[in-house]
Amino acid sequence: MEETNLSRGHFYLRYYGNYFGPLFLFFIIRIRKAAGTDKGKLIEKTALIIAGIMLIMVYILNSFLEETSMHIKHSLDWFYYFAPFSGNMDMWPETLQDIAYFICSTLICTNIYVLIIVLSMMKKQRMVLIIVTSALLWQYSYGVVHFDSPYASSENYYQSVNAFYKLSIEETAVLERVSKVFYCNATYGPEYIVQFMLPEYEVITDMSLLDPDCKNIILLSDARLEAEQLKGGQFSFVQLDKNEFLYLNDQDKVNLLKKKGYVFTDANS
């Protein structure tokens, strides 16, 4: 579990969070089955289940205490599990994730769980459906508007390849007779956008596979590369925008783009 991404460690569906959902569902089924039994036993079982859920949530919340008490971070809840019910309406990446952020969300979610259980016991299924649907719609809408949208349009994604995309549309000759396409960026994700843009080529992110003797290579990066990274290959590069650099070792394409006003520099200079 990454110390800067605690919510992922607890709730990411590929981790043990897979088992929490079925367990919670099992608790609900037990309560429903017990609805026709002695009222005292039903209250006892309900209280025990609620206590179990709260203990789990307290354990999870406690793991955030040290991080949030030492300093405030913006990435503890990277997958925004807590965000929709935290009362914090900031857009990514400015979401302030302090201890109040997690406590508020925990209390609100706990109340929602209790309300669902109580309404289920009262056999008010329509109200349960309305509450669950509303909570899910709010969580999804909040994530799209406040997290997914600003992140997807940020320098981490679309803006990391937008200049090359424009170039590929305006100067189609750049993509002719390409042998290999490399993409170098420390941020995970933008390489998939490049792959989507160039479906006929395999976009390679492992720079150790770069063969300096191979011709007609397209190499994209988010920063200027050192000569060692290019392994002595005869590349020329142009800076397309502040976070996009295009490297070519095809002199014909370099000359073509120079005529269009692009300023190339010898990568080994």
User: What percentage of residues in the chain have a pLDDT greater than 90?
Assistant: 22
Q: How do residues 218-260 score in pLDDT, each as one tens digit?
A: 999 999 998 888 988 889 999 999 889 999 999 999 999 999 9
Asked if pLDDT for residue 1 goes beyond 50, the answer is: no
Q: How do residues 5-34 score in pLDDT, each as one tens digit?
A: 666 666 665 665 566 667 777 777 776 666
**Angle in degrees, CA 231, 236, 237, rounded to 5:** 105
Q: How do residues 154-200 score in pLDDT, each as one tens digit?
A: 777 788 888 999 998 999 888 888 888 999 988 777 888 888 888 88
**Neighbouring C-alpha atoms within 13 Å toward the C-beta of 148:** 9
Asked if pLDDT for residue 86 goes beyond 90, the answer is: no
Strand 217-221 to 180-184 pairing: parallel
DSSP state letter for 16: T
Of 202, 209, 198, 203, residue with least CA distance to 175: 198
Q: How do residues 27-69 score in pLDDT, each as one tens digit?
A: 777 766 666 666 666 677 777 777 777 777 777 667 666 666 5
Which tokens belong to 208?
Answer: 């150790």
Show the DSSP H helices in the chain as ranges.
6-11, 17-33, 39-70, 99-121, 125-143, 149-152, 162-170, 190-197, 251-259
Weakest-pLDDT range from 35-39, 50-54, 83-87, 261-265: 35-39
- Average pLDDT over the chain reads 81
CB 173 within 8 A of CB 256: yes
**CB crowding 166-175: b at 16 or more within 10 Å, else e:** ebeeeeeebb
pTM: 0.58
State residue 105's pLDDT score. 86
State residue 122's pLDDT score. 87
